[in-house]
Amino acid sequence: MSRTVYVNGDYLPEADAKVSIFDRGFLMADGVYEVTSVLDGKLIDFEGHAVRLARSLAELEMASPIGDDDLAGMFRELVRLNRIEQGMIYLQITRGNPGDRSFVFPDASVPSTIVAFTQDVPNLAEPPVAKVGFKVITIPDLRWDRVDIKTTQLLYPSMGKMLARKAGCDDSWFVADGAVTEGTSNNAYIVKGNRIITRQLGSDILHGITRAAVLRFAAEAQFEVEERAFTVAEAQAADEAFSTAASIFVMPVVEIDGKTVGTGKPGPVAVRLREIYLEEMRKTAI
């Protein structure tokens, strides 16, 4: 079934949705994005995504083309029009179409481009892989130094995903200076006893919206939370490992570079945090 998508204020059949070849998102990856999950036809953690979107835009000196209330309304309209029960909404805002290619930013009179579309994922909350967990490989983190800005420069993460696929795995974790930064499109964690360890916030990881909620729920559930760098060897020797993102919620990680983590099955902490996350976030979905 053809989707109805959103382009610069209009709701259109996907085949009719067009963006210029001069758009800076297309030519320069000069754009930011957000992925918001949908459960029971409702938006999960909309506010978190709206706040991070505003920060990404501000860091790139890009004006926001839409207010939070209108953004929420637009997301909900896309969910309604496309009858999404479980899935995701992809939003992208670029610096727009200056009518030619130039390294210089266009002046502020050039309107930004805003597009959004839904992705229908009927088993988003219960994908089969969550029962067995991810196998990951580690690769050098060759991204730029501002991955805290959620830009559309996703070539290297995409290559990381393909390297994982070629190795018969599900994802890659990036490593910088001997320590894990994050996954291709998720934040990375290990568990030792009652302690959950994940890299501290900085410009070298995306400040995950799922991460913030999961750490809050973990603390409420009496887990200790330690925000610090960890090595691949430490991760391989941990009791458990997991990744978080709006697209996977809390995903157990059972193998790292061919080494089994813990029992090789999704660990109780990751499974519990996944349950808590889904339960709590469903309560506050809008």
247 binds ligand PDD per the rule CB under 6 A:
yes
- Which one, 182 or 240, has the nearer CB to ligand PDD? 182
Among the listed ranges 62-70, 122-130, 178-186, 257-265, the one in contact with ligand PDD (CB under 6 A) is: 178-186
87 binds ligand PDD per the rule CB under 6 A:
no
187 binds ligand PDD per the rule CB under 6 A:
yes
95 binds ligand PDD per the rule CB under 6 A:
no
The residue within the footprint of ligand PDD, chosen from 39, 210, 240, 266 (CB under 6 A), is 210
> If binding means CB under 6 A, how many residues of this protein chain bind ligand PDD?
14
Show contacts with ligand PDD in window 20-39 (CB under 6 A): 35
The residue within the footprint of ligand PDD, chosen from 89, 169, 245, 250 (CB under 6 A), is 245
Q: How far is the CB of 245 from ligand PDD (least distance, A)?
A: 4
- Which one, 191 or 213, has the nearer CB to ligand PDD? 213
- Which one, 71 or 97, has the nearer CB to ligand PDD? 71
β-bridge mates for residue 175, sequence order: 140, 180
Nearest CA among 236, 150, 153 for reference residue 190: 236
The residue within the footprint of ligand PDD, chosen from 25, 133, 208, 266 (CB under 6 A), is 208
209 binds ligand PDD per the rule CB under 6 A:
yes
Active site residue 166: no
The residue within the footprint of ligand PDD, chosen from 161, 199, 211, 274 (CB under 6 A), is 211
Burial class (CB in 10 A: 0-12, 13-18, 19+), 235: buried
- Active-site positions read 150
Task: Point out which residues bind ligand PDD (CB under 6 A).
Answer: 35, 182, 185-187, 206, 208-211, 244-247
